[in-house]
Structure 1
């Protein structure tokens, strides 16, 4: 039997855990969050992604209770959370700095919140052991934070945040302090822990790869607004704007004007060259400005003009980025535009087909590019 897909946001009967209703947050004249309405569902791993200053941390601080909305309402489990103080909310926040107590052991750090809540000794012991097991820290229980690695400290902070079984865990750039390899390993650990506990996680990050790896849905933000919130695959394959297409992953954006042609559109983009072809469910008027977003892995590179594709353009290799398993070719085409084409490196370097200054043909299918409004 196939696994059922977890997509509560497509189910009209599903009740969201968190509801933002017309939320605006101003600091003096500055609007940090601009009239936002969206939902987050139980057991979701929801990522707020965007450049510095786009409002993602303000969003999180309102959920935690450190900021109150200027206008609008935030509901948690159907209840307005504005009057509930931070320490009484079923919400916990894990900071980038981890904020562990240096003089307490790993065990006591995890137990801290439970002791404050007046839980019995046996209850605390059982819960701490459970958390140590979940985060694979059992053998480090008696050590102090300075006696363990950065990745382990990160897991202690996570165990401490989850010990009180919050409905919602907020993670503010939680992997920012870790090196690249450890970050990747920790991303998968986070996903496993989130799935095991069933806790709703909301993560703030400016690292698109991280958001795309861990999240069930990613909300791409800009200037206090969510531009698109969707699954990582849809954000990547079906961006709703040039901003989202450009923000996520490598992409070539070519601007031109649209003209209806059969099942799709012709896009005129430079003088004296054949138009490009693309299909789109969005309607464009004849002569309307448009953009096409093209992912480099969908662009084939060849020495000869391919006979089986309408989208074939000639250009010159200006740059080659060698990434071990992949090479990305930056090819200049008519009108001085750069198009990126990516190939898998299945052969040794000495056997490469193309090099700098070579004239090559780039081609892609009619459905490879996404047409976007100007």
Structure 2
């Protein structure tokens, strides 16, 4: 018999659901304008201690402006930014308990790794003994002890990234801001570093706020994601909720792949809702959304929710017939582009459990595409 675990089960981390929790940072009706251009538009959001909070959105959506205002490099046009209940607008950047790690890393090329890490401490007037002790702790933390005397140009991209991270953490900030910190790394190193960042953040008990345009990165590292568009936070939620329950077509389309169908609600039959598109069959839908008969909505269905088969599926699910138009092979998965009789194309993603040469579905094959009654998310906008 296996040993009974002695550690307590991991508690759910969701301070934003506790009305008694006080936020570490509060953006209160914050607007930032550059002339006639509004970069951040009347934004209000709470960020809690020990969160790994991600700002996600396309270029120009306002996410870096938000980060720079929090760091003190920009001032809000209106509104307040509070930290532990105190308005920090009058506090200069170097006096805030906040550090920022830039995308370029901004390491001093003439300094060694140890000197780069200790630079901020030296500027604060710390003694040499204090600096040396803290630098040693940071080198050990990011596993760069053998590289202490090297210059930045003698390091790999991943090592330079860790030096910049160690320098940002050396002053023990309450909040660490990361502006596209992994953008310069290759895919495998970026994935490895994401998990290192998560482990580091959790072990140190710090609050991290990351800006990224990489959806997968945001989904991997964060406790909550704010999806931004044109200076507005369109949806703020956990990665799972953002992906599985987007509140708009914009969010659904921005996070991962998605299929959209425009349908009309025909009638309610018990727990099920019968809907119909302009050209396809009637479908059944089970949802918590309060849909009205006659209402037109969009159904968002993720590609992995579809099942493609040559044989007709069981009757307890939705299904349509089509022909395989194209196949995108991605190693572990394949994405089937299935063209339906009305010209609509659905994307279905399935795991490659067999080798490609033994795949039983290929181009031009007639197939069925099926999905469960709860797979589709109805969206009004």
TM-score by length of 2: 0.96
- Tell me the distance in 2 between the aligned counterparts of 1:260 and 1:242: 23
User: Given that residues 61 and 229 in structure 2 are in contact (C-alpha distance below 8 angstroms), is that contact kept between their aligned partners in structure 1?
Assistant: yes
Q: Hey, what does 1:91 align to over in structure 2? A: 98
**Superposition CA RMSD, Å:** 1.1
- Tell me the distance in 2 between the aligned counterparts of 1:335 and 1:97: 49
- Tell me the distance in 2 between the aligned counterparts of 1:62 and 1:199: 20
Which residue of 226, 234, 237 corresponds with 2:244?
237
Which residue of 339, 353, 374 corresponds with 1:367?
374
- Tell me the distance in 1 between the aligned counterparts of 2:342 and 2:90: 58
Q: Hey, what does 1:144 align to over in structure 2? A: 151
Which residue of 114, 122, 134 corresponds with 2:121?
114
Q: 1:123, CA displacement in angstroms? A: 1.5
User: Given that residues 256 and 290 in structure 1 are in contact (C-alpha distance below 8 angstroms), is that contact kept between their aligned partners in structure 2?
Assistant: yes
- Tell me the distance in 2 between the aligned counterparts of 1:6 and 1:334: 47
Q: Hey, what does 2:276 align to over in structure 1? A: 268
- Tell me the distance in 2 between the aligned counterparts of 1:354 and 1:274: 24
Mapped pair 1:71 → 2:73? no
Which residue of 278, 289, 293 corresponds with 1:282?
289
Out of 52-61 and 115-124, give the one that drifted further.
Answer: 115-124
Q: 1:122, CA displacement in angstroms? A: 1.8
Which residue of 9, 12, 33 corresponds with 2:19?
12
Mapped pair 1:291 → 2:298? yes
Q: Hey, what does 1:42 align to over in structure 2? A: 49
User: Given that residues 309 and 364 in structure 1 are in contact (C-alpha distance below 8 angstroms), is that contact kept between their aligned partners in structure 2?
Assistant: no
Number of aligned residue pairs: 373
TM-score by length of 1: 0.97
Out of 188-197 and 328-337, give the one that drifted further.
Answer: 328-337
Mapped pair 1:100 → 2:107? yes
Describe the superposition over 1:248-269 as per-residue Cα deviations: whole angstroms up to 9, x where unpaired. Answer: 1111111111233221322211
Which residue of 156, 159, 172 corresponds with 2:179?
172
Describe the superposition over 1:127-156 as per-residue Cα deviations: whole angstroms up to 9, x where unpaired. Answer: 111111111111111111111111000000
Out of 340-349 and 90-99, give the one that drifted further.
Answer: 340-349
Q: 1:248 to 1:209 in 2, by over 3 A?
A: same
For residue 266 of structure 2, give the secondary structure of its aligned residue in structure 1. Answer: strand
Q: 1:210, CA displacement in angstroms? A: 0.5
Which residue of 312, 333, 356 corresponds with 1:349?
356
Gaps of 5+ in 1: none
- Tell me the distance in 2 between the aligned counterparts of 1:365 and 1:227: 28
